[in-house]
Amino acid sequence: MANKAGVIVVAAGKGSRMGTTESKQYLKLQDKPIIIHTLEVFERSSIVGEIVMVTGAEDVERCRDWVKQYGLTKVVHVAAGGRDRQESVLNGLQHLTTEWVMVHDGVRPFVTQDHIQQCYDTAVEAGASVLAVPVKDTIKQVNPNRQIIGTPDRSSLWAIQTPQTFRRSDLLDAHQHAEQQDFRGTDDAMLVERLGITVAVVEGSYTNIKITTPDDLDYAAYLLERKGESHI
């Protein structure tokens, strides 16, 4: 697997913003759970050799059943998540053997094959990479009283997506270092940045949405209709 990338697909969250009893990653999109759409994208990628799916402990068995049902042959393990996303990624890392690792949100089923390839190529060249898009809106910094205290230059702001790609040894070091210092980051790149490793940005697409609200689910259904599942 030395010349292939491993992927950790994180799907351990509850997703309270969706307002459903069922976790958002298991909601159906064209009669198939969202998480399966996401896994199938990486299953089709020629650069991916191993996939580890990280989910809630109570969902491990049904996810293993789905892996068999949908013929996801690259999924080498379904791991139970930790107390938060950071711990869940660390749990998933223990089950990969590849030199390079991608971390991806289980509810981002619209990442393209081209972007997966670009993220991998850029990481190999630069040391690490993240998929992102330029921010379209003006962003304001606001204090606890909701008063504007600053307006960052929009040209320097990017909205970070996934996948995020790292050398597995670097990501493991970053997570272990964060655990030792009891530091919680908002994404994996933040942990790697703390080690002084440069993380390059790959421009992605605004359609690579994270499905977290009912409106997102409606838009996702529209995207599937417009593109056809085979083009995801």
pLDDT confidence of 1, banded at 50, 70, 90?
very low
Residue 22: the pLDDT is 53
- 11 phi, psi to nearest 5 deg: -145, 45
Q: For residue 76, what pLDDT is reported?
A: 97
As a whole number, the mean pLDDT across the chain is 90
Indicate the domain borders of the chain: 5-227
pLDDT digits (tens, 9 = 90+) for 113-162: 999 999 999 999 999 999 999 999 999 999 999 999 999 999 999 999 99
Could you give the count of Cα atoms lying within 13 Å of 41 in the half-sphere of its Cβ?
A: 28
Amino acid identity, position 45: S
pLDDT digits (tens, 9 = 90+) for 60-89: 999 999 999 999 999 999 999 999 999 999
- 70 φ, ψ (degrees, to nearest 5): -95, 5
The two tokens of residue 29 are: 């999109």
Query: Over the stretch 97-108, which tens digit does the pLDDT of each residue have?
Result: 999 999 999 999
pLDDT at 230 over 60: no
pLDDT at 215: 82
Instruction: Tell me the CA distances in angstroms from 67 to 9, 31, 53, 56, 71, one per residue in order.
Output: 13, 16, 10, 15, 6
pLDDT value of residue 15: 52
- Residue 13: its pLDDT value, please? 65
Closest Cα partner for 131 from 105, 160, 166? 160
Share of the chain above pLDDT 70, in %: 91
pLDDT at 228 over 90: no
How far is C-alpha 180 from the chain's CA centre?
24
Distance CA 119, CA 110 (A): 15
Asked if the model's pLDDT at residue 21 lies above 70, the reply is: no
What is 5-227's CATH number?
3.90.550.10
Beta pairing, strands 48-55 & 75-80: parallel
